[in-house]
Amino acid sequence: MVIDKDNILHLLQNVTDPEIPVISVLDLGIVRDVLISDDFVEVIITPTYSGCPAMLEIEKEINNALKKEGIERLKITTVLSPAWTTEWMTEEGKRKLKEYGIAPPNPTNPKDIACPQCGSQNTQMLSEFGSTACKSLFKCKDCLEPFDYFKCH
């Protein structure tokens, strides 16, 4: 394999978030950059929030994916500034979240959350914290299904 940024990004498209296995680290927006110098690869990542427990697993999976393709000289660097924002998520990633049953972030009106199951806007927050700290727990008042909402930040 030729070590270039496009090939590395292609490999990273197959590395998923361990907490949301339908979304890649690229679609989630945590891969900030890929730097290559003399066949040395550095992948720069930013956690969705400081202290995210999934980051160690994500680093391991990025490392494994690149080593599997013969890339031995690599480094994964975590940067915290600027802080990650849901604006870095791709539209494809947001679509995948919704199909998986998680309401994607709604930066224009974070209080107006549509149910990912039936599309109803008739929803209510049950808890500021859902299955992970980056999500809130909601309930649809029409189909009565509970669901996570990926908080804006």
Q: Are residues 10 and 80 in the same domain?
A: yes
Q: Are residues 82 and 129 in the same domain?
A: no
Domain end point (choices 30, 52, 86): 86
Confidence (pLDDT) at 110: 65
Asked whether residue 132 is assigned to any structural domain, the reply reads yes
Per-residue pLDDT tens over the stretch 75-118: 999 999 999 999 999 999 999 999 999 999 987 776 789 999 99
Asked whether residue 94 is assigned to any structural domain, the reply reads no
Q: Are residues 15 and 72 in the same domain?
A: yes
**Residue spans of beta strands (DSSP E) within 63-141:** 74-78, 102-103, 123-127, 135-140
Q: Are 9 and 34 contacting, i.e. CB atoms less than 8 angstroms apart? A: yes
pLDDT(1) > 80: no
The pLDDT of 121-143, averaged and rounded, is 92
Question: How many domains in the chain?
Answer: 2
Q: Which domain holds residue 129?
A: 101-150
Asked whether residue 92 is assigned to any structural domain, the reply reads no
- The reply to whether the predicted model has a pTM over 0.85 is yes
Asked whether residue 45 is assigned to any structural domain, the reply reads yes
